[in-house]
């Protein structure tokens, strides 16, 4: 069986990467989602192993020590998030294209690891004001977390040029069309 490749969707929190990823999964059966690990508690409706692997701080730290993460980061009130190497490798060996829906710094690390065997798409909001409104509309942020996410987003936007393609998510259908086109082209490369 042919080995798979990695597709990285990158955006500041609230940029639309998860929404775009969900649409990709509806259109492509050869795509599989890489479930990230986190130390934050589950939100209402989230399921361990489906949305995230919810780990204790001690378990997460042990996995860091054991080199089990391709990338990890601590932010938003000390909560940690990371991509488990075993999660990605298992799907790649089965010939799937693995979709990573991750933040900017982790995406840079993943791109360095997989190089030409990865496609990195930076999903950019049209402005920080639009991003703020999207985060407010989500209803999951308190004032402190919102301020942290917006400050972080401003820094993350400076990384856009480090990715294979920047797609401005002003109109979801237009952005999805561009993402889908890039993914099809990547999947058809040898």
For 140-158, what is each residue's pLDDT tens digit? Answer: 778 888 888 888 888 999 9
- In this structure, is residue 60 part of a structural domain? yes
For 22-60, what is each residue's pLDDT tens digit? Answer: 999 999 999 999 999 999 999 899 999 999 999 999 999
Q: Name the helix (H) or strand (E) containing 111.
A: helix 104-114
57, 58, 109: which is closest to 83 by C-alpha? 109
CATH of the domain at 142: 3.40.50.300
- In this structure, is residue 1 part of a structural domain? no
**What average pLDDT is seen over the chain?**
91
Note the pLDDT of residue 146: 83
Tell me the residue range of the domain where 21 lies.
Answer: 6-187
Can you tell me the mean pLDDT for 166-175?
95
Note the pLDDT of residue 190: 67
Note the pLDDT of residue 164: 96
């Amino acid at each position: 069986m042919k080995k798979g490749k990695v597709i990285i969707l990158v955006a500041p929190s609230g940029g639309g990467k998860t929404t775009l990823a969900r649409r990709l999964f509806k259109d492509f059966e050869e795509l599989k989602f890489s479930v990230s690990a986190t130390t934050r508690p589950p939100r209402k409706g989230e399921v361990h192993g489906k949305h995230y692997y919810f780990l204790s701080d001690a378990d997460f730290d042990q996995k860091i020590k054991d080199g089990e993460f391709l990338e990890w980061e601590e932010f938003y009130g000390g909560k940690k998030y990371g991509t488990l190497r075993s999660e990605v490798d298992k799907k790649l060996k089965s010939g799937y294209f693995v979709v990573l829906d991750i933040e900017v710094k982790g995406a840079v690390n993943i791109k360095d690891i997989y190089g030409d065997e990865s496609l990195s798409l930076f999903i950019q909001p049209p402005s920080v004001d639009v991003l703020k409104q999207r985060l407010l509309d989500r209803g999951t942020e308190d004032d402190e977390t919102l301020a942290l996410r917006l400050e972080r987003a401003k820094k993350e936007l400076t990384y856009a040029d480090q990715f294979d393609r920047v797609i401005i998510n002003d109109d979801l259908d237009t952005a999805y069309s561009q993402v889908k086109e890039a993914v099809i082209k990547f999947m058809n490369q040898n």
